[in-house]
C-alpha cells in the first residue's frame, strides 16, 4: 500500500529491458528471465501494454516484442495508467468518502499537492531513465568509469 502496484513495477522493469521501434525485438521468455518477472504473468501483461499502444508484438519464428515508441518518449505515468487503469490514484489519503475540495479532511490539502507531485514526477520520468539505471546496475562489474 502506498506504492504503485507490483504489476506496474513488473511492466516498468520489463519495458526498460526492451529496445525501441528501430531496435530488435526480444522474446517474452527472455525478458522475463532477465527481469525476474514471472514469465506467464508477463505474457498477460504484455497484451495490456500492446492494447495500450506502448508495445509492438509479432508472432511466429521471428516474433517478439519491442517498444512502440523510443524509451525517451514513454512516461511512467502512461505505464501506470495502462496497467492499473486511470483511477490508480485514489482520492482521499485516509479513504474517507466525504472528502473534496469543499469538505476537505485534515490531510486533504497535503495529499492533493503530494498527489500532483507524484503525477508530475511520473510524467517527467521516462522509461529511458529507468533503462539507464538498470543498465548501469547490470554493468557494474564490467566498467566502473566509462559510463558517467
21's contact among DNA, a second copy, none, with CB below 5 to 8 A by partner kind, is none
Query: Which grid coordinates are listed for 86?
Result: 486511470
Is the Cβ–Cβ distance between 76 and 122 less than 8 Å? Answer: yes
23's contact among a second copy, DNA, none, with CB below 5 to 8 A by partner kind, is none
Burial (CB count <10 Å: 0-12, 13-18, 19+), residue 6: exposed
20's contact among a second copy, DNA, none, with CB below 5 to 8 A by partner kind, is none
Give 19 or 132: the residue with its C-beta nearer to DNA.
19
Q: Decide: is 6 part of the binding site for DNA (CB under 7 A).
A: yes
- 57-76 positions binding a second copy, by CB under 8 A: 76
Other CB atoms closer than 10 Å to residue 130's CB: what's the count? 19
Residue 72 and residue 126: Cα distance in Å, rounded?
6
> Among 34, 35, 43, 75, which residue interacts with DNA (rule: CB under 7 A)?
43
**Nearest alpha-carbon partner for 25 in 58, 69, 61, 60:** 58
The interaxial angle of helices 6-16 and 127-138, nearest 10 deg, is: 70
Q: Decide: is 41 part of the binding site for DNA (CB under 7 A).
A: yes
Other CB atoms closer than 10 Å to residue 118's CB: what's the count? 15
> Among 51, 70, 125, 148, which residue interacts with a second copy (rule: CB under 8 A)?
125
Q: Note the residues at the interface with DNA (CB under 7 A).
A: 5-7, 10, 26-29, 38-41, 43-44, 46-47, 50, 57-65
Q: Note the residues at the interface with a second copy (CB under 8 A).
A: 1-6, 8-10, 12-13, 36, 76, 84, 88-98, 103-107, 110, 114-115, 117-118, 121-122, 125, 129-130, 132-133, 137
Amino acid at each position: 500500500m502506498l506504492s504503485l502496484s507490483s504489476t506496474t513495477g513488473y511492466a516498468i522493469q520489463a519495458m526498460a529491458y526492451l529496445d525501441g521501434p528501430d531496435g530488435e525485438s526480444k522474446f517474452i521468455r527472455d525478458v522475463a528471465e532477465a527481469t525476474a518477472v514471472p514469465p506467464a504473468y508477463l505474457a498477460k501483461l504484455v497484451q495490456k501494454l500492446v492494447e495500450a499502444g506502448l508495445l509492438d508484438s509479432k508472432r511466429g519464428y521471428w516474433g517478439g516484442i519491442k517498444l512502440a515508441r523510443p524509451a525517451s518518449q514513454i512516461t511512467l505515468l502512461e505505464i501506470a495508467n495502462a496497467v492499473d487503469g486511470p483511477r490508480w490514484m485514489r482520492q482521499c489519503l485516509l479513504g474517507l468518502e466525504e472528502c473534496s475540495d469543499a469538505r476537505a479532511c485534515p490531510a486533504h490539502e497535503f495529499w492533493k499537492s503530494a498527489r500532483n507531485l507524484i503525477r508530475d514526477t511520473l510524467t517527467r520520468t521516462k522509461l529511458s531513465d529507468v533503462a539507464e539505471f538498470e543498465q548501469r546496475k547490470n554493468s557494474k562489474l564490467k566498467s566502473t568509469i566509462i559510463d558517467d
